Amino acid sequence: MSSALSAELRPSLFASFLMRRAGVVGIIALGLLANVSLSAAAQNPAKGPASEMNSGSSPDDPGPLASDISSDLKPKAIQAVVEKVASWQLKEAEPTFSRLWTYAALYDGLLAASKTTGDPKFHDAILKYSEEQKWMLIDNRFPHADDQAIGKAYMALYLEDPKNARKPERMANTKEIMDRLVARPDDPAKLLWWWCDALYMAPPVLARTYLATGDKRYLDSMDHEWWQTSARLYSPQDHLYFRDERYLTQKQANGKSLYWSRGNGWVMGGLVKVLEIMPRNYPGRAKYIEQFRQMAEEVKSIQGKDGLWRSGLLDPDAYELPEVSGSAFFTYAIAYGINEHILDRKTYLPVVERSWKGMLQHVYADGRLGSIQPVDAQPGKFKPSSSHVYGVGGFLMAGYEMNRLAGGKH
């Protein structure tokens, strides 16, 4: 399906939810919501549905796997595979660049790839596109976090300049929308970030707006909303996030709770991007560190023999293939934790060594990265060749942290 229809509005999941809650009214609401989503896609100036459908569909014959890459934990080896994968993805995706959330994760990865490799073409492609878009976010369904995700790239490009040479237009629209978000009336009964992967979308944008302005309101607002979401979706027993409240009671075939790989990977990625900005003396920082460590320990304990994780985390036998986008974000987060001395190196280095090696088994000769689940809101099945831009973004960020871990310049 086209991901222009937000995953949370997929009829196979949402229809039953609405019908249970509101009977016939639910059916009517479903139709209205679907129309709203389709209308938003049609009005979106960021190229709309076609850009999502072209973001890495799966060919029947992607060719042979790469034979010219090495899984050695050495800077040259890591930089070479990052260059290979990023170059293929940039060539494939740049004609359909979009402001949609899927591409936002890719932009984060491409900016990281330039830092890893020293090759400016990845960074410059994002800068060029941002300038073409006049640094504007999508703003037709505020306060939806998906539409704020590209703000991470805008703010990174703003902050990269020396303080006295920063270009205000790069952050102007993002700051305007973050101001509206901070001023939004609090409604504890209605979660702002009601699906777990939203914690990668919006919180890092608020954190970077704090960094740019020094205004603690952005950080405090993020902190408040993060723990509202955590209170509803995070399991203190399993140390994982449910994708949203629809999954609180759902079980896998083996009877265990249903936790989605990519959703939890994006939460850990969000934790990284918050922690790298949050001051060490911020009153709530210890809670983020504790949640990060809890999730890392759980993820470590369920790592597959091939070094990767399945799309349903607690029932790996139910899924034939590993899921690379979730695995990439887990690798990114754990490697960051080692680099920043949040996680014990001796304990966690073998985890990322195995996961990095495992992901390289899904790189094709042309640089395509496979085994990435298409847009969804739950575990699912897909082809070995399935490649999507957000998964590549996670892989490139993992490569950045693995390069740091190996002692490479960045």
> What number of other Cβ atoms are within 10 A of residue 248's Cβ?
13
For 260, the 3-state DSSP assignment is strand
Q: In which residue are the tokens 């009153």 written? A: 283
Q: What is the 8-class DSSP label of residue 138?
A: P
**What's the rounded Cα separation, in Å, for the pair 48 and 53?**
9
Q: What token pair was written down for 255?
A: 């009877």
72 is catalytic: no
The active-site residue, picked from 146, 197, 223, 244, is 197
**What's the rounded Cα separation, in Å, for the pair 31 and 65?**
44
Q: What token pair was written down for 192?
A: 């702002």
Q: Per-residue b/e over 160-178, b at no fewer than 16 CB within 10 Å?
A: eeeeeeeeeebbebbbebb
For 256, the 3-state DSSP assignment is coil
For 137, the 3-state DSSP assignment is coil
The CB-side HSE value for 404 (13 A sphere, CA atoms) comes to 21
Whether the bond into 350 is cis, omega within 30 of 0: no
Q: In which residue are the tokens 């990767």 written? A: 308
For residue 257, report the phi and psi dihedrals to the nearest 5 degrees.
-60, 150
DSSP notation for 162-226: -GGG--THHHHHHHHHHHHHHHSPP-TTS-SS-STTHHHHSHHHHHHHHHHH--HHHHHHHHHHH
- Residues labelled as active-site residues: 197
